Every structure is written in C-alpha cells, then in structure tokens.
Structure 1
Amino acid sequence: MLTELSIKNFAIIEEMSITFQKGLTVLTGETGAGKSIIIDALGLLIGGRGSVEYIRFGEKKAELEGLFIMEESNHPVFQKANELGIEIMEDQMLVLHRTISQTGKSICRINGKLVTLAILKEIGQLLIDIHSQHETQSLLNVDKHIELLDSYYQVNDPQFLKEYEELYHKWSQLKKDYKEQNQNEKELAQRLDLLTFQLNEIQSANLIPKEDDELLEERNTLVHFERIFQSLKDAYNGLHGEMRGLDWLSHTANHLEAAGENNQELQKLYEDYIDHYYMIEEISYKIRQHIDGMEFDPERLEFIESRLNELNQLKKKYGSNVEEIMEYSATIEEELETIKNRDEHLLRLEQRFKELTEDLLLEAKQLHDVRVKAAKGLEKAVLKELKELYLEKANFIVEVAYTKSDQNELMLDGSSVRPNNKGIDRIHFYISTNPGEPPKELNKIASGGEMSRIMLAMKNIFAQHQGITSVIFDEVDTGVSGRVAQAMAEKMYNISIDSQVLCITHLPQVAAIADTHLRIEKHMNHDRTTTSVTELSREDRIAEIGKMITGEELTEASKQHAKELIEMNKSR
C-alpha cells in the first residue's frame, strides 16, 4: 500500500507530504483546490508522461516521492523487481522517486537505484491503478482483457498457464531453428564454400597450441643473439678465473670454516654460506652450458619470421591467438557437418516441430476451453455487481475467440490460428446497458454515469485478482446520485478491504463511508497559491459532509444528515 507521498514544486503545490492509511481514504475540497493535482502527481510517480508545465512557476524542478509497503510476500512486484535487478528492503519497502527538470528530462529512482522511465512504469503499474472518468487504463485496453480473465481464473488454479507457456517457448525456439536451417539454397551454398575455404586455410597451417608465444620468444633470442651471447660470456668470466668471483667466494668460505671450528654459531653461518656458494657454482656451470649450446642460425630466424607472419594473417581473420583460431576451426567444422547432413537434419527437425505443434495446439485448445468456462463465471460475477449498482437490465459478454491468422499455417477446428505466449485466444469485453441494444465494447458506452458504474463493478471483481496495492478513483462518481451513489460507495468500500483505495469525490455517501477523510484546501501565501492537506476529525468530517450535502452553507439539518450517514455506514 501507499504509505506516504511527498510532492515538491509541482503545479500549485509548493511542498507537501501526505501520510495514507489502509482502507478507504477520500479526498474532498473545492474545485481547483488541488485534488486532481495530487492524482496527477501519483500518475507521474508511476511512470506517466511528464511535462515541464507541471513544474511550479519560478522553480527549476519538481520532485515526487512515494513510499510503498508490500504486506504480501508473493506480490507480483517482488518477481518483477528481481528480474530488473532492483533490491527490495528487508522490511518490504519500496521507494519510488521522480524528478522533472526544466529541460523536460526525468530522473527516476527505485530504492535509490537509477532506472529508466520504462522500468519505473513497469514497477509503478504493479503498485497503483488509477481510474478516472476519462482514463480507464487496463479495463478499457482490449489487449489487457485476456490478462484480466486469466487473473480471475488463476485464483482457483494458479498454475493453469505454466504448462502451455513452457511448451510455447520450446515450440518458438524450434520454429526459429527450423526456419534458419531451411533457408535459401543459394545462401547455404555460399556459406558452405566460405566455411570450407576457412577450414582448409586453418587446417593447412597445422597450428600448435601456444605456438605463437613460443616463436615470439625464440625470435626475440635470435634477433638479440650477439648481445645475449656477450652478456653471458661476461657473466661467466666474472665468476671463473684467478681472483674472480668464485675464487674470492672460495677464500671467504675457507676463512669462515676456520672461524667456525671453535664457535658453533659461526659454524652454522659457514654451513649456510657454503650452500649458497655451491648454488652460485652450479649457476656458473649452467651459464657455460648455455654459451656452448648457442649458435646463431639465420635460416631459423627467417623461418620464424615467415611463420609468425602466417599466424598474424590468420589472427586478423579468426581470433586473437592460436587457441581462439583453433576453437573457431572446431565451430565451423561442426557447422559444416550440419550443412552437409542438412537433409537428414531437416527431416528430424521437421518431424519434431510437427509433433510439438500438435502438442501445442492440443494444450492451446484445452486453455481455450478453460477460458470459455471462466468467461461464463466472470459474466455472472459482473452482472451481479451491476445489478447491485442498479443496472439490472445490463448484459455483459466475455467473448473468447481464436486469434485468426491469414497464413493458414496452423489449423484448429477448421480455423487458421496464430499462437502466442498466452495461447490462441482473443478476449473482448462487451456490454449493453439498455434492453434491445446490441452489446458494444466498453469504450463505446455513452453515459458517464453508466461508465462509472461498469468500471466500478469490474474493479470490485478484479482488485483482489490483480494484486494492485492501491486503487485510485478520480471523480468516478460523476453523474450519479441517490441510491446509485450509495451503492457505488459500498462498492468502493468493498474494494478497500483487499486493496487500499484513494478516492476524490463530491458525493457525501462516499465521504461518509470512508475510513479516513482528507480535505484539500487552497490558500494565498505571499501572493502565491499553495495547497494544503488536512486529515479531518469526526466533527470536521460531519461539517465537511454537511457542506457537500447542501453546498457552502452548513445548516443543522445538513449536519444531522451527515452524522446519520456516518453512523449508518459504521453499523454496516
């Protein structure tokens, strides 16, 4: 649920922080006081389209921040956050932040991590569902109807889509592989020639692992042969000969041995010294052997230069070192084998694809039958809600039809169908509010009051299925009054049992049934307009609802009526 909302330099709001509670919260106030601005701020916070016009006049940026607490550990936002690499705090808190600058750019953060506006929207739409008279979001989006129907059914069978989705993923991958393998003959022939040439070129080089590194080292020795040879001779001569290094070290050993004959500590020192002496003597022998074995071979140097040039030419084409070239050789050898045995491979692939297609269509048909059955249940549930909202004559239809394809690739029940990751179904919601009228799509309903009731009825059903933590109604009660207004108030309250509900309303019936009542007021401060939010006490609620009943003038009769409305809703 939305726990706190902070707004700074947004429209006429200079700075405001609102704490929200569970249940149903209503926001009331005069027209223009800033009620809808708060909803606009929430819309932008969850990824809505921003504009520099929202920035308060004279300021450089507007800042919005919302704190959400997820009380259910299986809320969909956890999985989505994990997919996007966003860490949710141990106390299941999620902080959304958005800054809009004068340049029109937005800076978005989730739990302090910079994210794109698209990611902010993905997360935000799992947390808040905003519904207004003109913006009905997912309920009016035909593409979302299949998700709504599935969410309605998933309460009874949470895993009913899983098997189909896994099968569709395998089918899609196999279809892609088959298409790639069954490509143009000319392209395959050209590919075969290219790979054959590359393989012959690499194999004819008779590569040896680490060969390039070893040749470079040998080349370096031959190029600097004279310098290395002379340096080794000088090193050897420095150790061997009369009055040279080893001669002096031998004299030192004799003196240390004599000193140690009568002193154990010096005897130990002599032993350590003589070990190192023998090591240096051994090194001198190795230097001599190296000198004796050295021979400058110009032909070998010429061969190495030629071989390194050959390897460098291969590196430009196939890899940065000999190992990578050999790995590439193994890869194209496998591909060549596949191309050469293409007909046999394609036959196996085609048979597997055919079997998997049959399985997919069978599973999709079962999914279709489940949705047809679920559609009947949803129709009854919506009609029941509409009846309680005094639309007794309404007719609500959930159409479950195959998604048709004009390519005639896959046939089911005599129809060409096009599968996707949700199945082969196209779901449409239709409604007729008056007897004798044909059902129409939801967005074709003319009456604002009817649209409000239809949307509220569906929200009441889907709120508990969608996992939305907060549902926001922005003056959806426009155009209704009397018993319909009371029925709508009760529907909103029912939704608030499973989801937090925030509602901007002008109806006293809705305000009276709320758990929390916030009043939005507009003030003048230093010739600038500002907005404030106040949580009303019981007495203030009575006065506010009384004014909603009669207008600006509060009478004893309206106060009594307001009190009765509150008490009546308390007793429900």
Structure 2
Amino acid sequence: MLTELSIKNFAIIDELSIHFQSGLTVLTGETGAGKSIIIDALGLLVGGRGSVEFVRHGEKKAELEGLFIIEDNLHPIYQKTKDFGIDIMDDHMLVLHRTISHTGKSICRINGKLTTLAILKEIGQTILDIHSQHETQSLLDKDKHIELLDYFHESNHPQFKKDYKKLYKQWKELKSKYDANNKNEQELAQRIDLLEFQLNEIQNAELEPNEDEVLTDERNELHHFESIHQNMNDAYNALHGEQKGLDWLSHASNNLEEAGDHNKEIQNMHQQFVDHYFMIEELSYQIRQHLDQMDYEPGRLEIIESRLHEIDQLKRKYGQSVEEIMTYSAKIEEELEEIKHRDHHLSNLQETLKEIGNDLLIEAKELHKIRLRAAKELEKAVLSELKDLYLEKTIFQVDVTYSKSEAGFSFEGVKVLPKNNGINQVQFLISTNPGEPVKELDKIASGGEMSRIMLALKNIFSKHQRITSVIFDEVDTGVSGRVAQSMAEKIYNISSGSQVLCITHLPQVASIADTHLRIEKQIQNDRTSTLIHELSFNERIDEIGKMITGAELTEASRTHAKELIEMNHKEK
C-alpha cells in the first residue's frame, strides 16, 4: 500500500507530506483546492507524462516521492524489481522518486537507484492504478483485455498457462535460430568472411588461459626488480652469519634448553621454539634459492609489453579478458560450422520447429477452450455487478477470437501466429441500451454509465490484478440517489483487497470511508498553496453535511450525515 506521499513545488503545492492508511480513504474539498493535483502527482510518480507546467511558478524543480509497503512476498513487484536489478529489502519498502526540472528534464529513482522513465512506469503500474472519468488505463485498452481475462481465471487455476509458456519459449528460441541461419547468400557470405577473419585473428594470437594476468604480474615484478632483489638480499643477510638473526635464535634455543632441564613448562616452550627456529631456517634457504634464480633480462620487459599490447587490442574487440576472448572464439567457430553446414542444420531445425509448433498449437487450442469458458464466467460476474449498480439491462460480452496473421500457422481454417500468451485476441464489448449492438468500452457515451461500468470491472479485477493501491478520481460523476449508494459499497468492497484513495463529491462515498481527508486552498503572501487535514468524527459530519446541501451546513444535513456514517458503519 501507499504509506506516504511527499510533494514539493508541484503546481500550487509548495510542500506537502501525506500519510495514508489502509482501507478506503476519501479526499474532499472545494473545486480548485488541489484534489486532482494530488492525483496528478501520483500519476507522474508512477511514470506518467511530465511537463514543465507542473513545476511551481518561480521554482527550479518539482519533487515527488512515494513510499510503498508491499508485505506480500509473492506480489509480482518482487520479480519485476529483481529483473531490473532493484532491491526490495526485508522491510518490504519501495520508494519511488521523480524530479521534474523547469527545463523539462526528468530524473527517476527507485529505492535510490537511478532508472529510466519506462522502468518507473512498468514498476509503478504494478502497484498503483489510477482511474478517473477521463482515464481508465488498462480497462479501456483492448490489448490488455486478454491479460485481465487470464487474471480472472488464474485466481483458481494459477498454472493454466505453464505448459504453453514452456513450449512457446522453446519454439521462439528455435525460430530465432532458424531465422538467423536462413538469410540470403550475400549476407551469409559476408558473415562467413567476418567470422573467419575474427577467428583467424584470435587463433593466430595463440592465447593461453589467464595469460594476461600472468604477464601483468611478471611485468610488475620486472619494473621493481632492483627493489625486490635488494630487499630479499637484505632479508637473507639479516638471518645468516655471525651475530645475525639465526645465530641469536640459536643462542636463545640453547638458553631455553638449559633452563628446561629443571622446569617442564620451559621444556615445552623450548620445543615450540625449536619448531619455529627450523621453519625460519627453511624460509631462509628458500630466500637464498629465490635470489639465485632471480635474473634480470632487459629484453624480457619489452617482449611482455608487446604481448600485453597485442592482447589489449584483442580485448577491445572480443572481450574484457583472455577467457572472454577464448569463449567468443569458440562461439564463432560453432556459428561458422553451422553456417557452412546450414542446409543440413536448417533441415534439422525445421523439423524440430514443426514438431514443437504442432505441440504448441495443441496447447494454444486448449488455452482457447479455457478462455471461452472463463469468458462466460466473467460475463456473469460483470452482469451481476452491473445489476447491483442498476444497469440490469446491460449486455456485456467477452469476445475471444484467434489473432490472425498472414505470417503464421494454418490452424482451423485461419492463419495464426503464436505469441507469449497464446493465439487469442480478447475484447470486452458492451451495450447499455436494449436493441443496440454491443460496442467497444470506449464507445460508451454516458459519463454516468461509464463510471458504473468501470467500477463494476474494477471491483472484479482488483482481486485478480493484485494492484496494491487503486485511485478513483471523481468516478462518481453523473450519479446520485440509490446508484450513488451502490457505487459507494462497490468502492468499499475494492478496499477490502486493495488500498483505495477516492476523490468524491458524493456524501454516500464519503460516509463509508475508513479515513476522510479534506483538501483546502489558502493564500499567504500572495501565493496560493494546498493544505490537507484528516477529519475527526464530528468534522466528518460537518463536511458530509455540506456535501448533502451543496451550500450552507444545516442541522438537518448534519443529522442526515451522521445517519449516513452510522448506517454505513453497520454495513461494514
């Protein structure tokens, strides 16, 4: 859920920090107070299109930051952030940050890591969904309808696409390989020339594993040969000779031995001393041996520098290390082999592709049957929701067809091209007036009808999309009376599975909320700013009373407001 939102220098907001609770939170206030500006801020925070117009007049930048807590470790956000290399710590916190400068530049961060606007949008839309009278996002996007239908079915059958996806991945990889090998002769000839040149260049270098590291170490030693030799020689001389290190250690050993004749503890100390003495003596012989083997060859350094330069030239083309270069060499050698024997190779690939393709289409057909059954269930669920919202004469259809493609497979009389989610195309169609044909959702004319339809769909899909926070911006426009009360109950139902923030002008919606925030506008020092205040029980009564009358607060409207709150409290 969204726990905290910080806004700075955004539109008429100078600085504002809002703490949000779980459940249903309503935001009310006079027109122009800044309610929709807060929703605009949330929209930009999750990747919406920015504009310099959002930067408060006279300021250099607007800053937005939102703290989300996602305690469900199975939530899709965890996999998405992992894919993008973003860490969500054990505290389940996800912080989105966006800065928009007065020049139009936008800087995005997720948990402190700089990221692109596209990634911010993909992450943001996984945890927050904004629905307004004019913006319905995925519910109106027909390309998203297949996902919504699958979400609806997956709640009870989470593995229903597993076999298809596994086969599709195999088929896609083989097809890419087949297409790469099935190029025209000129392209292949050019590719062979390039690969043979690269392979010859690498093979002629006769690289050895870790050769660059070994040569670098040797070069470093030669650069410091004099210092190494001098220090090694001094170390040896400090140990060997009369009145030198080993001589003094020998004296100490004799003294301990004599003292140990009369003390067992000293005998043990002497034995330990002798062991260490022999170790130091052995090390001194190794130092002498290393000194004898040290030989400075003036020409060797030049040879090493030349060889390392040659390796560096190869690194610039083929890899960051000798191992990467050798791996690349093996890869292009394999590719050359495939190209030179491509007829046989293509024949085998084509046969395998055909076999997997047939299996894939069988799975796709099964998916099609499952979606047809799920579509009927979804239609019933939506019509039930619409009936509660007094749209009982509405016709809602989930149209499941094959996604046709001239470049695809022949399948049941049509050409289809398998995709990651199957071979289907899904679209939601609706008719709100008897006798009228069903149309696409975005062709609905009435704002009131659109609000109810979107709310019905949202009430169903919020359970399946696993969106942590749902935002409603005046979705209750154009409704009143019993419809308003039903919409209030639907909105509250959604808040049982997702946090809901709702801007509303309906007393029915405001009275059913768990938390009520009032947005106010104030003018100070000739500048307009926005304030936010969480209402107490009595303040809620007054606020809802004003919403009922639309003007001055009366005792009758206060009584009505209190009754509404208490009635909805009992319903909850």
Q: Is the CA contact (8 Å cut-off) linking 2:202 and 2:314 kept in structure 1? A: no
**Aligned residue for 2:437?**
438
State which drifts further: 60-69 or 185-194.
185-194
**Aligned residue for 1:395?**
395
Question: Aligned-pair distance for 1:551?
Answer: 1.8
Q: 1:65 to 1:202 in 2, by over 3 A?
A: closer
Q: 1:325 to 1:561 in 2, by over 3 A?
A: closer
SS at match of 2:50: coil
SS at match of 1:435: coil
Matches of 1:30 and 1:126, distance apart in 2: 31
Q: 1:382 to 1:198 in 2, by over 3 A?
A: closer
**Aligned residue for 1:113?**
113
Q: 1:284 to 1:382 in 2, by over 3 A?
A: closer
1:150-196 superposed Cα distances (whole Å, 9 cap, x missing partner): 10000011111222112111101111111222222344456557767
1:330-374 superposed Cα distances (whole Å, 9 cap, x missing partner): 656544443443332222111111101101111111111111111
Q: 1:342 to 1:450 in 2, by over 3 A?
A: same
TM alignment of 1:366-445, pairs within 5 A: 366-407=366-407, 409-445=408-444
**Aligned residue for 2:101?**
101
Matches of 2:438 and 2:446, distance apart in 1: 14
**Aligned residue for 1:481?**
480
SS at match of 2:405: coil
**Aligned residue for 2:520?**
521
User: Over alpha carbons, which structure has the higher Rg?
Assistant: 1
**Aligned residue for 1:338?**
338
TM alignment of 1:544-555, pairs within 5 A: 544-555=543-554
Does 1:466 pair with 2:462?
no
Matches of 1:45 and 1:277, distance apart in 2: 68
Question: Aligned-pair distance for 1:126?
Answer: 1.2
Q: 1:329 to 1:558 in 2, by over 3 A?
A: closer
Question: Aligned-pair distance for 1:516?
Answer: 1.0
**Aligned residue for 1:18?**
18
Mark the runs of 5 or more structure 2 residues left unpaired by the alignment.
220-239, 256-273
State the AA in 2 paired with 1:78.
Y
Matches of 1:103 and 1:457, distance apart in 2: 41
Matches of 2:540 and 2:119, distance apart in 1: 40
**Aligned residue for 1:74?**
74
Q: 1:108 to 1:341 in 2, by over 3 A?
A: closer
Q: Is the CA contact (8 Å cut-off) linking 2:314 and 2:325 kept in structure 1? A: no
Q: Is the CA contact (8 Å cut-off) linking 1:2 and 1:69 kept in structure 2? A: yes
SS at match of 2:463: helix
SS at match of 1:406: strand
Question: Aligned-pair distance for 1:322?
Answer: 10
State which drifts further: 336-345 or 452-461.
336-345
**Aligned residue for 1:225?**
none
Matches of 1:483 and 1:283, distance apart in 2: 97
1:220-268 superposed Cα distances (whole Å, 9 cap, x missing partner): 9xxxxxxxxxxxxxxxxxxxxxxxxxxxx99x99xxx9xx9xxx89xx9
Matches of 1:277 and 1:544, distance apart in 2: 92
Q: 1:278 to 1:136 in 2, by over 3 A?
A: closer
State which drifts further: 277-286 or 471-480.
277-286
**Aligned residue for 2:43?**
43
**Aligned residue for 1:164?**
164
**Aligned residue for 1:557?**
556
State the AA in 2 paired with 1:130.
I
Q: 1:518 to 1:418 in 2, by over 3 A?
A: same
State which drifts further: 46-55 or 326-335.
326-335
State which drifts further: 72-81 or 136-145.
72-81
Q: 1:555 to 1:413 in 2, by over 3 A?
A: same
1:511-564 superposed Cα distances (whole Å, 9 cap, x missing partner): 111111111111121221121111111111111111111122111111111111
SS at match of 2:495: helix
Q: Is the CA contact (8 Å cut-off) linking 1:69 and 1:93 kept in structure 2? A: yes
Does 1:145 pair with 2:141?
no
Matches of 1:179 and 1:532, distance apart in 2: 60
Q: How many residues align?
A: 520
Q: 1:72 to 1:412 in 2, by over 3 A?
A: same
State which drifts further: 29-38 or 188-197.
188-197
Q: Is the CA contact (8 Å cut-off) linking 1:207 and 1:326 kept in structure 2? A: no
Matches of 1:327 and 1:132, distance apart in 2: 54
Matches of 1:112 and 1:316, distance apart in 2: 37
Matches of 1:40 and 1:183, distance apart in 2: 50
Question: Aligned-pair distance for 1:105?
Answer: 1.3
Q: 1:182 to 1:559 in 2, by over 3 A?
A: same
Q: 1:165 to 1:551 in 2, by over 3 A?
A: same
1:271-326 superposed Cα distances (whole Å, 9 cap, x missing partner): 9xx99999999999999xx9xxx9xxxxxx9xx99xx99x979x889979999998
Matches of 1:29 and 1:396, distance apart in 2: 35
Matches of 2:413 and 2:154, distance apart in 1: 29
Q: Is the CA contact (8 Å cut-off) linking 2:456 and 2:490 kept in structure 1? A: yes
State the AA in 1 paired with 2:61.
K
SS at match of 1:5: strand
**Aligned residue for 1:231?**
none
Matches of 2:101 and 2:447, distance apart in 1: 36
Mark the runs of 5 or more structure 1 residues left unpaired by the alignment.
221-248, 295-300
Given the two structures, how large is their TM-score scaled by the length of structure 1?
Answer: 0.80
**Aligned residue for 1:453?**
452
TM alignment of 1:184-223, pairs within 5 A: 184-189=184-189
Q: 1:197 to 1:25 in 2, by over 3 A?
A: closer
Given the two structures, how large is their TM-score scaled by the length of structure 2?
Answer: 0.80
Matches of 2:396 and 2:160, distance apart in 1: 25
Matches of 2:171 and 2:417, distance apart in 1: 13
Matches of 2:475 and 2:464, distance apart in 1: 21
Q: 1:59 to 1:278 in 2, by over 3 A?
A: closer
State the AA in 2 paired with 1:477.
D
Residue identity over aligned pairs, in percent, reads 66
Q: 1:283 to 1:43 in 2, by over 3 A?
A: closer
State which drifts further: 274-283 or 375-384.
274-283
Q: 1:344 to 1:563 in 2, by over 3 A?
A: same
**Aligned residue for 1:494?**
493
Matches of 1:328 and 1:41, distance apart in 2: 48
Question: Aligned-pair distance for 1:393?
Answer: 0.3
Q: Is the CA contact (8 Å cut-off) linking 2:128 and 2:471 kept in structure 1? A: yes
1:70-112 superposed Cα distances (whole Å, 9 cap, x missing partner): 1322111111111111111212111212121112112222222
Q: 1:432 to 1:335 in 2, by over 3 A?
A: closer
